[in-house]
Amino acid sequence: MSKPEREINEKEKNRWRQLSFNLSEDESQILSIIRNQAPIDRANIIRQLKFSRAKTNGIINDLVDNNFIKIYGHGASSGGKRPQLLEINAEIGYVIGVDIGVTSMDVAIANFKGEILDVHGIESDIKDGPIAILQSMMDIIEDLKARNNMDSNQFVSIAIGVPGPVDVNTGEVKSPPLMPGWNDFPITEFIKSKLPNIKIIIDNDFNMMARGEYYSGIGKGHDLFVFVKIGTGIGAGIIINGDVFRGHEGSAGQIGHISVDWNGPRCICGVNQGCVSGMAAGPAITAKALKAVKENESEFLVKRYKENNNALSAKDVGDALADGDQTAIEIINESGTLIGLALSSLVNLLNPGLIVLGGGITKSGNLLLSSIRQTVLTRALPFSTRHLRIEYSSLGDKAGVTGAVILAIKNVECSYKDKMTV
């Protein structure tokens, strides 16, 4: 006898407007169990916790009173009264998840269960700088709110993924090679000026995507796995014990600056030579395609170049590949091999059970995946690869916003923590 989803009324709206959304560690622990295992009864929650029945029941009652959780229905009786089943109150508040890429931006709104209610994506250019990009983001949020009949006060949290290194504690982007003009820009203050009551958290795009795959995608159930984004740059979101691994100062996962040619060209990172990001990601693929056009090596690419008014993108190389173009096969195969070399170092160091590949370049098809697998299997220690799976993302373009929505919720639930670890 499950209860129908409750309509949210004005009284409740006012109620959560007043909520601080500052939860204790104990409350957070209980919410997390309910989030992951709902519908669940009290006895089951008590069994999983170290604290007493009285304490657990007290916290649950408070969470029900404050509308964080609600009665889902009643379970089967095991002799006495039928037990209450609990679930997260999806409408306690809404969150915003944003994935800002180098050439695109996606914005999603979701309920407090993490269910995405609406999403909107646009093409954008990160080089337009923080004010233009963040204003576009605000415009999309306004549109999403309007078309879903919501108002700003209902949104309790926003998480934003960006294509560069982030100091998660300040929310500032730090010396980002692909984001000119963004260094140290006060993203958090900009958003606060538009949405004063919202919790804000900024993170690297590949960490967001790793989180999305861990909670909703192919990474589900894998407490140790690595998400590798292959786009304009290359970066890795490393999940260890279910958390994003950040390193000592938050800059872990920079696989794009592993060298695959120690005497190769200097990278835009300014220090290393032959970084895999510069040798194998989007711009390298485009540069090789342009060279092939100049040398008249590919009929397909020459035609596309002219159609595009003398321009090419990595997507064009993917189209050429789909058409069986030999030059495109060579270019993508080379990228896969180089990325495989960098991944072989990662595999030797971390011995992950699963590597998930995402980002725009993975749309070029299965050749890239195959080249990467082939190289890792012939370069990394056999003991570390015998059960290793390397797969494409199951969430595709949605990995970033999915992870951002989850982080926005976790940033409310884990507000007791000094540092965000999810």
- How far apart CA 378 and CA 344 sit, in angstroms, is 9
Q: What is the footprint of a copy of itself within residues 164-183 (CB under 8 A)?
A: 165, 174-175
Q: Please tell me the total number of residues recorded for the chain in this structure.
A: 422
Query: Least Å distance between CB 326 and a copy of itself?
Result: 24
236 binds a copy of itself (CB under 8 A): yes
* Contact call for residue 186 and a copy of itself (CB under 8 A): no
User: Taking contact as CB under 8 A, which single stretch among the options 14-22, 113-121, 257-265, 318-326 is the one that binds a copy of itself?
Assistant: 257-265
Q: How far is the CB of 151 from a copy of itself (least distance, A)?
A: 39
Distances from the Cα of 346 to the Cαs of 202, 236, 343, 407, in angstroms?
Answer: 25, 10, 5, 25
Q: How far is CA 226 from the centre of its chain?
A: 12
Q: Could you say whether residue 262 binds a copy of itself (CB under 8 A)?
A: yes
Name the minimum Å distance from CB 145 to a copy of itself.
36
Query: Cβ of residue 50: shortest distance to a copy of itself, in angstroms?
Result: 4
> Per CB under 8 A, does 116 bind a copy of itself?
no
Is-contact 215 403, C-beta < 8 A? yes
CA gap 226, 206 in Å, rounded: 10
Q: Is-contact 74 83, C-beta < 8 A?
A: yes
Per DSSP, helices labelled H in 246-325 are: 276-280, 282-294, 299-307, 314-322
Distance CA 96, CA 44 (A): 32
Instruction: Examine residue 38 and tell whether it contacts a copy of itself (CB under 8 A).
Output: no
End-to-end CA distance of the chain: 35
**Which one among 202, 209, 228, 238 touches a copy of itself, defined by CB under 8 A?**
238
Instruction: Count the residues of the shown chain that bind a copy of itself, applying the rule CB under 8 A.
Output: 54
Residue 238, H or E segment:
strand 234-240
Per-residue binding string, a copy of itself, 337-356, x by CB under 8 A, is: ----xx-xxx-xxxxxxx--
- Given 93, 130, 219, 253, the residue binding a copy of itself (CB under 8 A): 253
Contacts of 109 (CB under 8 A, 6+ apart): 94, 95, 96, 97, 116, 117, 118, 119, 141, 144, 145, 148, 150, 155
Per rule CB under 8 A, is residue 240 in the interface with a copy of itself? yes
The minimum distance between CB 97 and a copy of itself, in angstroms, equals 25
Piece of 187-195, 205-213, 263-271, 325-333 that binds a copy of itself (CB under 8 A)? 263-271
Our finding on whether 18 is near a copy of itself (CB under 8 A) is: no
Please identify, using beta-carbon distances, which residue of 106 and 203 lies nearer to a copy of itself. Answer: 203
* Residue with Cβ nearer a copy of itself (158 or 346): 346
Separation of alpha carbons 274 and 265, rounded Å:
5
Residue 5, both tokens: 């989803």
Convert 121-158 into a string of H (helix), E (strand) and C (coil): EEECCHHHCHHHHHHHHHHHHHHHHHHCCCCHHHEEEE
Question: Least distance from C-beta 338 to a copy of itself, angstroms?
Answer: 9
One character per residue 373-392, x = contact with a copy of itself (rule: CB under 8 A): -----xxxxxxx-xxx----
Closest to 348 measured CA to CA, from 372, 381, 371: 381
State the minimum distance, in angstroms, from the CB of residue 387 to a copy of itself: 6
| Token pair belonging to 13 | 């709206």
Q: Encode burial over 110-146: b for 16+ CB neighbours within 10 A, e otherwise.
A: bbbebebeebbbeebebeeebeebbebbbebbeebbe
Binder among 35, 145, 211, 246 for a copy of itself (CB under 8 A)? 246
Measured from the CB atom, is 67 or 344 closer to a copy of itself?
Answer: 344
CB of 111 to a copy of itself, least distance (A): 31
CA 225 to chain centre: 14
Please say which residue, 145 or 257, places its beta carbon nearer to a copy of itself.
Answer: 257
Asked if 54 interacts with a copy of itself (CB under 8 A), we say no
What residues make contact with a copy of itself under the rule CB under 8 A? 50-52, 165, 174-175, 224, 236, 238, 240-241, 245-255, 257-262, 269-272, 341-342, 344-346, 348-354, 378-384, 386-388
